[in-house]
Amino acid sequence: MSDRIKVVTSRLLLVVGLALCWSSAHAVLRVEITRGVGGGLPIAIVPFKVLKGDVDIDIAQIVADDLERSGKFEVMDRENLISSPGSATDVKYQNWRVLSQDYLVVGNIEQTSAVDYRVTFELLDVIKQKSITAFQYQPRENQLRRSGHKIADAVHEAIIGSAGSFDTNLVYVSVTERDSLDNRRFHLQVSDSDGGSSETIVSQRQPIMSPAWSPDGNMIAYVSFENPRRSAIYVQDRFTGSRRVLASYEGLNGAPAWSPDGKKIAVTLSREGSPDLHVIDVATGRSFQLTRNPAIETEPAWSPDGETIYFTSDRAGGPQIYRIPAEGGKVQRVTYEGNYNASADVSPDGRLITMVHRVGKDFRIAVLDLKNNLLDVLTSGRLDESPSFSPNSEMIIYATEKDGKGVLGAVSSDGAIKLHMPLSEGEVREPAWSPKLP
Amino acid sequence: MKKYPLVWLCASALLVGCASRSVDNIPSASEANRSVAVGETPSAGAIDGADTYGTEQSLLDGQGIAMGEGEVADVGRSFGSDTYFDKEAIYDPGSPLSQRVFYFEYDRDTLSDQYLDTITDHGRYLATYPEALARLEGHADERGTREYNIALAERRAQAVKRLMMLQGASYNQIITISYGEEQPAVLGQTEDAYSRNRRVELVYE
């Protein structure tokens, strides 16, 4: 094939590839920023130059979207680009100063085998005219999106000084054929933090609930109603799909939550009469009963040091958040504001709890600062639920609704940034943010 | 709803009269009217007075019927039909046993007496045929968190089970399973949809 035909063919393939990517993006969570703060750091991200081979993922766009979503950056519109350097050596800094950009990301990709790539990027300080950081990754084809997220994390860390949470996963439940109650299907799905690369790890006609990550990101615990006589908590390897039953006792089996060291899972069981917290040793299967109270005790959540478990109890008449030492001991009430507080998650830095908090008739996401006991209501929906912190404690993903359909939302823990992430097909609920991935 | 306290007045009167058997915690009629239950939302900050949204009271917590080991109350005489059910009655669409879904009332989350009659009928069927097995599936409306709603709906199913056991059904004949808000009968966010989702369903196995 002549060189000219090769170039045309590869460009054609790129266009076709992008078109396919766009149509498969039909299943990707689309991000709509609904409320942001002005004054993000101006950064330009140049589309990565393809040095060799076929690439159908727009890595620069993933980086741009990630950084925009954090609310801390204002990414320059592509149409304002006046040049497209593929590496630092091609950069003329005054071009970027003229566009009022403080930072510039350039990069390139080359295909090194049928399924392997090399991705190189560099972050430049436009004002100081020098390189801040540069990395090279060697992803397989199915990890290309992930390199975009790793780059966004590296940029966030280099400029802001704290870790990003872009190279992380979400697990959530999606429901299809929702309008025909008899034909509904439930799927447990894992995706990137932006909803991309989603894969289904469980699919069935009976409800799935309460997915929870192991601290190493390899296992997911969840509740399944596949047995019509009894619910069960399963623990499943997210890569191999192999799973085992953790608990399927008489009564309720629910709300699994892994300890931060991965050795124990707290669950809710009602086998002793009323729903109470039990802690199961993952290796031996032995359990001990943590709470003993005729009221409902459920929705356990571990503190990051593994010493305390927060949970929902209605022992005072309505659901409130309480805490108990993880080895057992005195129960203390945590929430005093409002008449319905439930579904707690503790921030990985240990400073905040997020929860579902009822305001009037609406259920909203709130955070409680554990130090000064101040409660801040972050969302304004009617039925917001399942809040889960990002690994850097900055964002909370939760379930909400839009146009009567279940979608995911995200809000920064200070409430400044709000996002909606609608899925085009079916509806989505019960998100859980993964730990930092190795 | 209006007939309900009257039924309980009769039941209480009958029970007080049955001196030979005692059952724990039979409330007076005024206690039954109060419908105080574990899980009742305090009304501080509530809208529209008694705000029962999201906190769904167990059917019989207000009545506080506790069963001692091996005791059976004669409550069956005060409601439920007096028909004897033959074994095939559960297959007969004309029998009272064909009613298998029990709904909870809008403002108080209690069953109306029409369902109490049916539940006691099912209880007596199970008592008559000890090899018959049933499953009670508890459901809640969508308001509130999912796992908490699983627990609330379980309470409801267990209360129906207790009522059936009062008729002589044995503990081992009835399984309860709670679906919380996960298996609605009806989609929608109206009070009508909610009331049709707050239910316990009976399945003979």
pLDDT single digits (tens) B183-199: 999 998 899 999 999 99
For residue B47, the distance in angstroms to the closest alpha carbon of chain A comes to: 6
- The predicted pLDDT at position B38 comes to 30
Q: Residue B54: which of A251, A340, A382 has the nearest Cβ?
A: A340
A338 plus A357 within the same structural domain: yes
Number of separate domains in chain B:
1
Angle at A105 between CA A100 and CA A110, to 5 degrees: 150
Q: Residue B177: which of A230, A294, A360 has the nearest Cβ?
A: A230
- The predicted pLDDT at position A424 comes to 60
ipTM of the complex: 0.89
Number of separate domains in chain A:
2
Per residue in B61-84, pLDDT (tens digit) is: 333 333 333 333 444 445 555 678
A200 plus A126 within the same structural domain: no
For residue B25, the distance in angstroms to the closest alpha carbon of chain A comes to: 17
For residue B57, the distance in angstroms to the closest alpha carbon of chain A comes to: 10
Cβ of B55 within 8 Å of Cβ of A383? The answer is no
Instruction: Let me know if residue A137 belongs to a domain.
Output: yes
Cβ of B42 within 8 Å of Cβ of A312? The answer is no
CATH number for the domain that contains residue A138: 3.40.50.10070
- The predicted pLDDT at position A42 comes to 95
Per residue in B13-30, pLDDT (tens digit) is: 444 444 333 333 333 333
Instruction: Let me know if residue A57 belongs to a domain.
Output: yes
A153 plus A183 within the same structural domain: no
A204 plus A309 within the same structural domain: yes
A272 plus A352 within the same structural domain: yes
Mutate to test the interface with B, among A270, A315, A428 (most CBs of B within 10 A): A270
What's this model's pTM, rounded to 2 decimal places? 0.83
For residue A104, the distance in angstroms to the closest alpha carbon of chain B comes to: 44
From A160, A178, A211, give the residue that closes a domain: A160
Asked if A384 contacts A367 with a C-beta cutoff of 8 angstroms, the reply is no
Q: Which residue range(s) make up the domain with B8?
A: 3-204
From A142, A160, A178, give the residue that closes a domain: A160
For residue A255, the distance in angstroms to the closest alpha carbon of chain B comes to: 6
Q: Which residue range(s) make up the domain with A47?
A: 37-160
A142 plus A174 within the same structural domain: no
A69 plus A146 within the same structural domain: yes
Instruction: Let me know if residue A1 belongs to a domain.
Output: no
Instruction: Let me know if residue A3 belongs to a domain.
Output: no
Instruction: Let me know if residue A225 belongs to a domain.
Output: yes
B144 vs A contacts (CB less than 8 Å): 319, 340, 342, 356, 358, 363
Mutate to test the interface with B, among A182, A185, A186, A358 (most CBs of B within 10 A): A358
- The predicted pLDDT at position B52 comes to 32
Where would I find the H helices in B99-204?
113-128, 146-166, 191-197
Q: Could you read off the pLDDT tens digit of each residue along chain A, which spans 438 residues?
A: 455 555 544 444 443 333 333 333 333 444 556 555 567 899 999 999 999 999 999 999 999 999 988 888 999 999 998 889 989 999 999 989 999 999 999 999 999 999 999 999 999 999 999 999 999 999 999 999 999 999 999 999 999 999 999 999 999 999 998 778 889 999 999 999 998 899 999 999 999 999 999 999 999 999 999 999 999 999 999 999 999 999 999 999 999 999 999 999 999 999 988 999 999 999 999 999 999 999 999 999 999 999 999 999 999 999 999 999 999 999 999 999 999 999 999 999 999 999 999 999 999 999 999 999 999 999 999 999 999 999 999 999 999 998 888 999 999 998 888 888 766 678 999 999 999 988
From A131, A160, A189, give the residue that closes a domain: A160
Which chain A residue has its CA at the smallest distance from B46's CA? A360
CA distance A14 to A22: 12
Q: Residue A317: which of B40, B47, B180 has the nearest Cβ?
A: B40
Cβ of A383 within 8 Å of Cβ of B143? The answer is yes
A133 plus A215 within the same structural domain: no
A347 plus A423 within the same structural domain: yes
For residue A333, the distance in angstroms to the closest alpha carbon of chain B comes to: 16
A80 plus A222 within the same structural domain: no
CATH number for the domain that contains residue B15: 3.30.1330.60
Cβ of A295 within 8 Å of Cβ of B55? The answer is no
- The predicted pLDDT at position A179 comes to 77
Q: Provide the mean pLDDT of chain B.
A: 70
**Ranges of chain B with pLDDT below 50:** 1-4, 6-77, 107-108
A266 plus A333 within the same structural domain: yes
Instruction: Let me know if residue A178 belongs to a domain.
Output: yes
Asked if A266 contacts A257 with a C-beta cutoff of 8 angstroms, the reply is yes
B185 vs A contacts (CB less than 8 Å): 181
Cβ of B145 within 8 Å of Cβ of A312? The answer is yes
Instruction: Let me know if residue A27 belongs to a domain.
Output: no
- The predicted pLDDT at position B1 comes to 45
Nearest CA to B3 among B98, B122, B155, B112? B112
A178 vs B contacts (CB less than 8 Å): 187
A233 plus A185 within the same structural domain: yes
CATH number for the domain that contains residue A423: 2.120.10.30
Instruction: Let me know if residue A26 belongs to a domain.
Output: no
